[in-house]
Amino acid sequence: MTRDDSTAPAASDVAADAPTDTREALLDAAQGLFAERGIGGASLRAITGAAGANLAAVSYHFGSKEGLVRALFARGLRDLNDERLQRLQACEAAHRPPEVECLVRAFADPMVRRLHNEKGGDFPRLVSRVLWESDEETRRLLFDEFRPVVERFSDAFARARPGVPKREVFWRFHFLVGSLAYAVGQGQTAAHFSAGLCDTTDASTLIEYLTTFLTTGWSAPPTAATEAETDDAEKSP
């Protein structure tokens, strides 16, 4: 993670009874600026200025810029992960094994809806930006929060497509995440090259096209592979 060049005052400079809303204001400001400039491009001075707080507030509430980033990921992914897992459970309850399209919607729909409804889509765009642009340390902070959902959905997709080797399940999930991140973070590309024919500002339309594309990929037969590759994939933990 890029180190901030500003030096925060000691945490003791902040009153012990600092209001809780200062913490939320810092998270909101960081979310907007990180989504706009990237985590390395948004300084603590810019964040605290936007939040109406002083530099010591970051140290008091989060300990460091890394602590601020970790808290931001935890806050943003908590509700997102909860919704995804609830929808996954509904897919599993409705069909055994679960249907591929249901799983795709359970994973993609909550993120796309937040892009259009949650504070201008700052958090979805931040996630997309971190996946595409950030350093490995920052991505690891995101992955730490994301891992339980990846494991649950990968297992569900493996049960939905029992003929697909485990290795390919992870490849396909990798492509699902990449397609979703690009659709969320680079929607203007489709609008530009289609001369406005692709309306990426409409959540329902974006979800339908994305779901059709991803479901088709998951429903395809396994990619041709040697017996050794297939055996190795099945034995991997």
Q: Give me the pLDDT at residue 226, please.
A: 41
DSSP classification of residue 56: H
pTM of the full predicted structure? 0.78
Task: Give residues with Cβ within 8 angstroms of 37, minimum separation 6.
Answer: 46
Helices and strands, counts by H and E, the chain: 11, 0
pLDDT at 228 over 60: no
What are the CA-CA distances from residue 112 to residues 38, 84, 218 (Å)? 20, 12, 19
Exposure b/e, 2-39, CB count within 10 A at least 16 = b: eebeeebeebeebeeeeeeebbebbbbbbbbbbbeebb
Class of domain 74-221: mainly alpha
Mention the CATH class of domain 11-62: mainly alpha
**What is the amino acid identity at position 179?**
S
Q: Which residue's entry shows tokens 């055994």? A: 96
How much is the pLDDT for 210? 93
Q: How confident is the model at residue 67 (pLDDT cuts 50, 70, 90)?
A: very high
Span 79-90, mean pLDDT?
94
Query: Which residues of the chain are in CATH 1.10.357.10 domains?
Result: 74-221
Going from the C-alpha of 121 to that of each of 32, 124, 125, 137, the distances in angstroms are: 9, 6, 6, 24
Q: What is the pLDDT of residues 135-175, one digit of tens each?
A: 788 888 888 888 889 999 999 999 999 999 999 999 999 99
106 has pLDDT over 80: yes
Tell which phi-psi region holds residue 71, choosing left (phi > 0), alpha (psi between -120 and 50) or beta: alpha
Distances (CA, A) of 168 to 213, 219, 236: 17, 12, 12
Q: Quick one: average pLDDT of 10-34? A: 72
Position 185 confidence tier, pLDDT thresholds 50, 70, 90: confident
